[in-house]
Amino acid sequence: MDKGHALILDDEADIRELLTLTLTRLGLSVHQAASLGEARTLLGKHNYDLCFTDMRLPDGNGHEFIEQMTRQHPDTPVAMITAYGNAEAAVQALRAGAFDCVSKPVDLNVLRSLVKTALRLRGERVPVGGSETRLLGDSPTMQRVRVTIQKLARSQAPVLLSGESGVGKELAARSIHEQGPRAAGPFVPVNCGAIPTELMESEFFGHRKGSFTGAHGDKDGLIQTANGGTLFLDEIAELPQHMQVKLLRVIQEKTVRPIGGRSEIPIDVRIVSATHKDLSQQVDLGEFRQDLYYRINVIELRMPPLRERREDVLLLAERYLDKLAPEWSISRPKLAAEGLQALQAYDFPGNVRELENILERALALCGGGRITEDDLQITPPEIVSREAAPSGSNGKWPLQDYLDRVEKEAILEALEKTRFNRTAAAKLLGITFRALRYRMERLNIK
């Protein structure tokens, strides 16, 4: 490790000595301060790559130090030293701008991981990856989101991404990961609503050989797989209560115990969660644990729906057409003016994901190298309300809903006849395999 410089602010001499010894062995040059006044004097003379501060100080508190560092030295990570089990103090410190927290008695493995992660922040910010992981949009709303993500990337605080389905919460999580010190580590996305309840514990924590029927070998869980990187818990509101308890322990203890394991395994992961539900309401209803909500919602980032940034629709549409046309092996069509107007007037209840689906459908329907309003097959909300099905309509209005039901029934029947062989089902329906795949995704046929 390249030699760095650290400042330790604590009024307990034994804590200062323990941290100094550990940091020195990691190759850092260390200065000590027993009070805020001493720390401020040292800050006036030296530049530091990492600082540690205790909560209670003779002439102030650690929050004051963190706030000063955030104002005057925003690129220097500050770790808060908290009393064991004081979750509230840790959350407050992270919200104030602390890079991370370490509890007393200090776990040396946790400390080493924290130092290595913090020192990766030295030098240039890690650039964002390929276009698939970029959050597109030039609207003021998206510009603010990207600025916030850059700030969040430098912290290790748990982040909760909120917003409707299809707004790009996973892309935001990837951006946080890729712009931070964990970019070289794994990014492990987990859809909490897609794992069967009976398999959750094994999937999250892993298991040891022979721990249950079918456990023919050791298996690392998703949390261990994310070690050194970021664990993205999508749709975290879907976690059952017993898993909420276990996840809270992982966050607090920074350890996991596989099923059948005899000891705890230290882990170093950053937790980023996402949900389209109102988690505070879920807490009030008793569906989500308040203590876990408190720990994962240290910093909340709301992802805006597409209807709140209509000026981004053209840019997004053009980028998606650039991406989709080669996949369909066709020349890239142009978006007609009336087509763009229709898109900009549409509310997109499915947000960015729905926009991509609409354009993929339009590619299948358009001719002459132009995508028209008819090719998009979208109806402004006020027209939909006028076309609501009257009583006695036999369910054939709105027309698109009726056609979707008929199409879904035909596809399901073909899949059943071919024992879910998609190639054979496509042939039976008289369409290409690619067209069948698109229709199954659009109609949510699993």
pLDDT tens-digit readout, 200-259: 999 999 988 877 777 778 888 999 999 999 999 999 999 999 999 999 999 988 899 998
**The predicted structure's pLDDT at residue 248:** 93
pLDDT for 122 beyond 50: yes
Exposed/middle/buried for residue 93 (C-beta within 10 Å: 0-12, 13-18, 19+): buried
**Alpha carbon distance 322, 119 (integer Å):** 39
**The predicted structure's pLDDT at residue 79:** 93
pLDDT for 384 beyond 50: no
**pLDDT confidence tier of residue 399, bands split at 50, 70 and 90:** low
Cβ proximity of 123 and 279 under 8 Å: no
Helix (H) or strand (E) holding 265: strand 265-266
**pLDDT confidence tier of residue 1, bands split at 50, 70 and 90:** very low
- Quick one: how far is CA 398 from the chain centroid? 36
Compare 434 and 391 and report the one with higher pLDDT. 434
What is the average per-residue pLDDT within 378-393?
Answer: 49
**Torsion angle, alpha carbons of 80, 85, 91, 94, to 10:** 20
Tens digit of each residue's pLDDT (9 = 90 or more) over 161-209: 999 988 999 999 999 999 999 999 999 999 998 888 888 999 999 988 8
**The predicted structure's pLDDT at residue 78:** 94
Across the chain, mean pLDDT equals: 86
Cβ proximity of 375 and 333 under 8 Å: no
Q: Parallel, antiparallel, or unpaired: how do β-strands 370-371 and 334-335 relate?
A: parallel
**Alpha carbon distance 29, 233 (integer Å):** 37
* Alpha-carbon torsion (249, 298, 290, 105), positive or negative: positive
Cβ count near 59 (within 10 Å): 13
Cβ proximity of 179 and 128 under 8 Å: yes
**pLDDT confidence tier of residue 50, bands split at 50, 70 and 90:** very high
Share of the chain above pLDDT 90, in %: 47
**The predicted structure's pLDDT at residue 58:** 92
Compare 368 and 71 and report the one with higher pLDDT. 71
**Alpha carbon distance 275, 192 (integer Å):** 10
* Lowest pLDDT segment from 4-8, 130-134, 241-245, 341-345: 130-134
Question: Residue 183: which of 160, 158, 150, 161 has the closest Cα?
Answer: 150
**The predicted structure's pLDDT at residue 398:** 60
* DSSP class per residue in 349-408: TTHHHHHHHHHHHHHHH-BTTEE-HHHHT---HHHHHHTPPPTTSTT--SHHHHHHHHHH
Give the orientation angle of helix 351-365 with respect to helix 337-345, to 10 degrees: 150
Cβ count near 121 (within 10 Å): 19
Compare 256 and 383 and report the one with higher pLDDT. 256
**The predicted structure's pLDDT at residue 392:** 46
Compare 268 and 445 and report the one with higher pLDDT. 268
Q: Cα–Cα distances in Å, from 64 out to 77, 135, 418?
A: 15, 34, 68
**The predicted structure's pLDDT at residue 84:** 63
**The predicted structure's pLDDT at residue 85:** 62
**The predicted structure's pLDDT at residue 420:** 81
The amino acid at residue 313 is V
* Lowest pLDDT segment from 93-97, 140-144, 240-244, 327-331: 327-331
pLDDT for 156 beyond 60: yes
> What is the maximum alpha-carbon separation in the chain?
82
**Alpha carbon distance 371, 336 (integer Å):** 6
Tens digit of each residue's pLDDT (9 = 90 or more) over 300-358: 999 999 999 999 999 999 999 998 888 777 788 899 999 999 998 899 988 998 999 89
Q: Parallel, antiparallel, or unpaired: how do β-strands 28-33 and 219-220 relate?
A: unpaired
**Alpha carbon distance 52, 16 (integer Å):** 10
**pTM tops 0.85:** no
**pLDDT confidence tier of residue 34, bands split at 50, 70 and 90:** very high
Cβ count near 241 (within 10 Å): 11
Helix (H) or strand (E) holding 117: helix 108-119
